[in-house]
Structure 1
Amino acid sequence: MERVKKIFSLIHLSAWVLFTLLVGLQLRSDTDAHWRSTTAGFIATCLYVFYMHFYLLTQYAGKSKGREYWLRLAGLALSGPSPFLLFHHKPFDFGYYSMHVITTVPIFLFLSWLARVTETLVLNTIRKEQLEKQAAETELNYLKSQINPHFLFNTLNNIHTLVYKQAPTAPDAVMHLASLMRYMIYEANAAMVPLAREMDYLRDYVSLQQLRYKNSAVVDLQIAGETASYHIAPLLFIHLLENAYKHSPARLEPGDLRVRVELADGMLTFSVQNPIARKPTNLLEEPGGIGLPNVRKRLALLYCDQHTLTIENTGEIFTVLLTIHGLHVPAHERQAHLLHH
């Protein structure tokens, strides 16, 4: 905001310098013996009228002080030519220059109003954009902060079950959880993270959840494409995978949960497919009001008009398909674009 105000100040200064030069050259070409004092008086009048009106608009416009504004405006209009008369050497006879200044007063009153309205409009627009960016950042931080306690709650329940049963895999579960929390605390705070690191996070999560099952891997996770050169918003896919576990039957066969990640030409396709438990559940809700609604909000903020989220329920199979395009954009440009929108 301060930078914009400095730009306006430079515009004012440049405009007045140019205007002064033009007036001086014009009066000098008219062979006026007192062209210097005439120029000084004329410019002084213009400055006086312009910035006094500018001040009145700043102090009284839009503040239920209309009466005070109009009284001061009338006084300004009457006193407008006075700076010119102080510099002018000729008697006050309403001659050419005097009349010229008198007619100039309303012109610079209008120009002052136009400048004040323009600056106010620009500053308000910038201020509105800054507030929208701040609101978006605040909401993104809030949505991201919901992930940690929700995920920790579910995972600690799983570890509690393993410890209660004195399962030998309990220490491994703690180590997996430590690895996941390290990523969530130290790496996922960035606006964008390497896609390869996010995929490692999902693999760790799958390994931790696998400790609940005696069968072979219940998740068939396949990644196709080069993940090293892409960046993604952190913790974006975890709820989709959590929902697949939550709404599947208690007993899962190997490969019942299918997770596919495909990358091609800057487009990412993420799909999760799981069998539906016989007991009816609300697939769009999570404890505390998060889950898929959380994902929808983050996608709307982060990838507005650059993603599609499709949910299909056949009664037996539940499928979530997410596509995001434009991932070839460098991470720093992506962040600037998202905050601007």
Structure 2
Amino acid sequence: MPPPPWNNNFENRPHKPMFNRFGGPNIDIISIFLFLIIVIIGFTQETNKQLRLTTQRFLQAEAEKAHAELSFLKAQVNPHFLFNTLNNIYTLAIIKDENTAPSIMKLSNIMRYITDEAGCDFVSLQSEVDCITNFIALQKLRLTKKTDLNYELTGNFENKKIAPLILMAFVENVFKYGISNHKSNSLTIKINVQNSSINFYCQNTIYRDKKNTERTGIGIENTKQRLRYIYGDKHILNIKDNDGLFTVNLAILL
């Protein structure tokens, strides 16, 4: 019986030796190379995945830190502002000034602004200016003839937003350190809006003893941090403290 055809084909087919001439097993270099590439690709993908997750966690942590610090700064500004304003109204009540009731109404409007709006990231610029106007009206009640106050508003304040209490810290500082009952003093506060930018300017003479000097600028430093967090390179702040004058120039791109 003749052998099956496949036997002849099998026998005539070239066979790849299982061992090389040195007696060791043959190694498929291409297969190993492909295997290593697959391993490297898998390792790289996993490394990139872990790197992305680490980066996301870092960015989230930084964002949460910035939000927490910003909330803390707001919390520092609000009670400080209310404390000073209440002290002014208390003085009016003690001397039974006829402006006590209107002053309480102005304070009510200010508190409504702080509790209802100042907790937001941004508020209408008109609301911020109204709050400043009420605050200045309260401060004017305790000014003597020795103080010359120049308060100017120019431009269109409608349909514009600003971070709450950003300007208030500077306005409050004017009255906190710029008033003397014994010397003539001048206070200047100007707010101007041009297109999509707001320009704020204030200047006051500085009257402060050594104790107050150590406390000066707490609200200002907080406001500087808030400006950096919120506006970044969209604001320019220039503060000068020399020759007995404290001057603030602030420009914000809304």
TM-score band, normalised by shorter chain: 0.7 to 0.9
Shift of 1:250: 2.6
- Deviation string, structure 1 residues 21-75 (Cα, Å, up to 9, x no partner): xxxxxxxxxxxxxxxxxxxxxxxxxxxxxxxxxxxxxxxxxxxxxxxxxxxxxxx
Match of 1:305 among 233, 239, 246: 233
Shift of 1:203: 0.5
Shift of 1:114: 0.4
Match of 1:173 in 2: 103
For the 8 Å contact 1:218–1:253, the answer to whether it is kept is: no
For the 8 Å contact 1:285–1:292, the answer to whether it is kept is: no
Match of 2:70 in 1: 140
Scaled by the length of structure 2, the TM-score of the pair is 0.80
Structure 1 residues 255 and 264, CA, compared in 2 at 3 Å: closer, same or farther?
Answer: farther
Aligned partners of 2:149 and 2:250: how far apart in 1? 18
Match of 2:250 in 1: 322
- Deviation string, structure 1 residues 83-136 (Cα, Å, up to 9, x no partner): xxxxxxxxxx89xxx876554322211111000111111121122111111111
More displaced 10-residue stretch of structure 1: 249-258 or 171-180: 249-258
- Deviation string, structure 1 residues 168-197 (Cα, Å, up to 9, x no partner): 222222211111010001011111111111
Match of 1:232 in 2: 162
Match of 2:128 in 1: 198
Secondary structure of 1:226's match?
coil
Aligned partners of 1:214 and 1:222: how far apart in 2? 20
Shift of 1:212: 1.6
Match of 2:152 in 1: 222
Aligned partners of 2:184 and 2:125: how far apart in 1? 26
Secondary structure of 1:200's match?
helix
Match of 1:296 among 224, 233, 242: 224
Aligned partners of 1:130 and 1:254: how far apart in 2? 52
- Deviation string, structure 1 residues 262-293 (Cα, Å, up to 9, x no partner): 2224222101111233756756834xx73111
Secondary structure of 1:258's match?
strand
Aligned partners of 1:168 and 1:272: how far apart in 2? 30
Aligned partners of 1:211 and 1:312: how far apart in 2? 28
Scaled by the length of structure 1, the TM-score of the pair is 0.61
More displaced 10-residue stretch of structure 1: 265-274 or 246-255: 246-255
For the 8 Å contact 1:285–1:291, the answer to whether it is kept is: no
Structure 1 residues 234 and 200, CA, compared in 2 at 3 Å: closer, same or farther?
Answer: same
Shift of 1:211: 2.0
Secondary structure of 1:310's match?
strand
Give identity over the alignment, percent. 33
Structure 1 residues 300 and 160, CA, compared in 2 at 3 Å: closer, same or farther?
Answer: same
Give the gaps of 5 or more residues in structure 2: 1-17, 20-27
Work out the number of aligned pairs and report it.
229
Match of 2:181 in 1: 251
Aligned partners of 2:221 and 2:208: how far apart in 1? 23
Shift of 1:216: 10
Structure 1 residues 318 and 293, CA, compared in 2 at 3 Å: closer, same or farther?
Answer: same
Match of 1:129 in 2: 59
**Per chain length, whose mean CA-contact separation is higher, i.e. which structure has more relative contact order (CA < 8 Å, sep 6+)?**
2
Shift of 1:255: 9.1
Give the gaps of 5 or more residues in structure 1: 1-92, 328-341
Structure holding more helix per residue: 1
Aligned partners of 2:228 and 2:52: how far apart in 1? 27
Structure holding more strand per residue: 2
Match of 2:88 in 1: 158
Structure 1 residues 284 and 133, CA, compared in 2 at 3 Å: closer, same or farther?
Answer: farther
CA RMSD of aligned residues (A): 2.8
Equivalences for residues 64-103 of structure 1 within 5 A: 101-103=31-33
Aligned partners of 1:318 and 1:152: how far apart in 2? 23
For the 8 Å contact 2:147–2:179, the answer to whether it is kept is: no
Shift of 1:315: 2.5
Shift of 1:248: 1.6
Answer yes or no: is 1:208 the counterpart of 2:138. yes
Secondary structure of 1:237's match?
helix
More displaced 10-residue stretch of structure 1: 186-195 or 254-263: 254-263
Equivalent AA in structure 2 for residue 322 of structure 1: L
- Deviation string, structure 1 residues 137-183 (Cα, Å, up to 9, x no partner): 11111100111110111112112211222222222222111110100
